[in-house]
Amino acid sequence: MSEGTADTRTLLRVRDLCVSFRRRRGEEIAAVGGVSFDLAAGECLALVGESGCGKSVLASALLGLLPANARVGGSALLAGPGPDAGPDLLAADEATLARTVRGRRIGLVPQSPAAHLTPVRTVGSQLAETVRELTGARGPALAEATLAVAERAAFPAGHLDRYPHQLSGGLAQRAATAMALVGDAPLLLADEPTTGLDRDLVERTADELRAHTDRGRGLLLITHDLTAAERVADRVAVMYAGRIVELASAADFFGAPGPRHPYAGGLLAALPERAFRAVPGMPPELDDLPAGCAFAPRCARADAACTRQPVLDGGVACHHPARDAHPAAAPAPPCAGRGA
């Protein structure tokens, strides 16, 4: 893991981010509730948790890619090219996001790469178009730059003339990663970038993402692969049932003193190289969350105090944290939704 960079500018400041989805009968399902964090230049924040905890919804909210029935609240301020603050991503209109944010100021490695590749064009033509649009390269320089970015993502040059349906899941993932790296955007959102890759390619992809960060750019890594997160991250945020339940430095989380929240500790203990012990029970349905702490039904420490919703205080949202060692983080109060 890198020692970081002297550039400590905040690239992204998220406060009280909430996302809910309106059903046909009018009820709303809360998918993300009161999430707050900062992301600095030269830093990787790994957002981890089981499937369905709200990680990908959060990423989609930041890029304005939520469906029409979504409601968002809070703010997500993106740093400007100078000292001034940039746009609030949650309030920006589609034209602003499409023309000035996506690809240029925020790159995206999508969770479902096949859905982001045009099926009737070869990977090479799509990658070259992205290079031309974001860098202005033409002629021989365009061909050279296209091959170079494919190499960065470990996408084989001999497959650039293939169509998306001719690619394996791992190759599609690498093609999407190559496109995300083209513009060297100040901020990169990587949503499960190692899905479908064998361990050698996982490590190579993780190292390329780390190199992107070490050049002074920010990385929000959304993953369930804790081994990849340990290889890349400076800090770790653990999500459960739409909320951050622990926020810690990667050194503290993966080393000593270790996770403080029982769910975070369970995720780490489930790794084969650790205790290889699964977290008991199943995550709750978002339309049927228990009162108070959402993890209480699965937690051996739960008691009457857990009928109250814990707030993120001192880096952990738990009434019975394992130890007091992580630095403080601001609580995330409820927010009022607004139409997306």
The pLDDT tens digits for 255-305 are 999 999 999 999 999 999 999 999 999 999 988 898 899 999 999 999 999
- Which residue pairs, CB below 8 angstroms and at least 24 apart, start in 35-38? 35/74, 35/239, 35/242, 35/243, 35/244, 35/332, 36/74, 36/244, 36/312, 36/329, 36/330, 36/332, 37/237, 37/244, 37/247, 37/329, 38/10, 38/12, 38/13, 38/14
Confidence band for 84, pLDDT divided at 50, 70 and 90: low
pLDDT at 22 over 60: yes
pLDDT band for 148, please (50, 70, 90 cuts).
very high
Contact present, 4 and 234 (Cβ < 8 Å): yes
**Alpha carbon distance 194, 173 (integer Å):** 8
DSSP string, 127-150: HHHHHHHHH---HHHHHHHHHHHH
pLDDT number for residue 85: 67
CA atoms within 13 A on the CB side of 197: 26
Q: How confident is the model at residue 196 (pLDDT cuts 50, 70, 90)?
A: confident
Residue 129 has pLDDT above 70, yes or no: yes
How many percent of the chain have pLDDT more than 70?
91
Which pLDDT score, from 0 to 100, does residue 116 have? 83
pLDDT 10s digits, 298-313: 999 999 999 999 999 9
- Give the separation between CA 127 and CA 133, rounded to whole angstroms: 10
pLDDT for residue 77 is more than 90: yes
pLDDT at 329 over 60: no
pLDDT value at residue 311: 94
Closest CA to 152 of 131, 129, 121, 125: 131
Average pLDDT, the chain: 89
Q: Would the pLDDT of 83 be above 70?
A: no
Question: What's the half-sphere exposure (Cβ side, CA atoms, 13 Å) at 216?
Answer: 4
Single pTM value for the model? 0.88
**Dihedral sign computed on CA atoms, order 234, 130, 60, 285:** negative
Pairwise CA distance, residues 25 & 39, whole Å: 38
Encoded tokens for 144: 């050279």
Q: What percent of the chain has pLDDT over 90?
A: 77
Burial 121-139 (b: 16+ CB within 10 A, else e): ebbbebbbbbbbebeebee
Q: Give the pLDDT band of residue 334 (cuts 50, 70, 90).
A: very low
